[in-house]
Amino acid sequence: MRVFLIGATGGVGRRLRKRLVSAGHQVTGLHRRDSQKEELEADGVDPLNIDLMNTSSERLAEAMKGCDVVVFSAGAAGAGVDFTDGIDGRGARFAAEGARLAGVNRFLLVSAFPDAGRGKEPSPDFEHYMQVKKQADVMLTATELDWVILRPGTLANEAGSGKVRVGLAIPYGTVPREDVAAVLHSLIEQPEVKRVIIELTTGEQVVEEAVAGMAAFSGR
């Protein structure tokens, strides 16, 4: 498959691109800084220099042509309101519209668990981030794309276990970035799972089986 990966240099994206290339998929990975090009090439990824803060749906559509699936795992990562609006907000909207224009029906969006930050005093920037992520979810569900919205719990850098808990609504928890990448990989290879919002934490079910089980909830 040809995968268009937005967020290829992020914590989840780095892990996902390696998995996909190892599995024989062709990956185009977006990057913003020139220094990131070499690391993408070293992993067997076709690098593409596009800054989500300064792009358009038409520019992305041109780059997406011929791809089978778009994965959006980019995020502002606490860089402030302007970057949240530009990447998590407009960037997601441009990407979804770009996929439509390019005829790429499959679109996976990494979103945010609705319970994120519970038990802590949220900052105004965090509240804004959560609002923008929800708006992106709403935007995507209104399209005709074969979308999947993945809402992982608190992300951890520890080694993945390959076992997760997924569902339409599950208790809040943590999940290693490696396991988030594994779930995205499995979603790419199981296109029958579509038009569904999936919450994700660490659990006891093997990733592939957990993802396959979500087909029963998929929209038509």
Q: How far apart are CA 2 and CA 4, in angstroms?
A: 7
Strands 2-6 and 26-31: parallel
Does the annotation count 172 as an active-site position?
no
Given the residues 83, 129, 148, 203, select the one marked as catalytic: 129
For tokens 């992106």, name the residue.
Answer: 136
Q: How far apart are CA 165 and CA 202, in angstroms?
A: 6
Residue 202: which H helix or E strand, with range?
A: strand 196-202
Q: Burial, 94: exposed, middle or buried (Cβ in 10 Å; 0-12, 13-18, 19+)? A: buried
104: left (phi over 0), alpha (psi -120 to 50) or beta: beta
Distances from the Cα of 111 to the Cα of 105, 168, 218, angstroms = 19, 14, 18
Distances from the Cα of 23 to the Cα of 27, 74, 163, 176, angstroms = 11, 22, 19, 20
Catalytic residues: 129
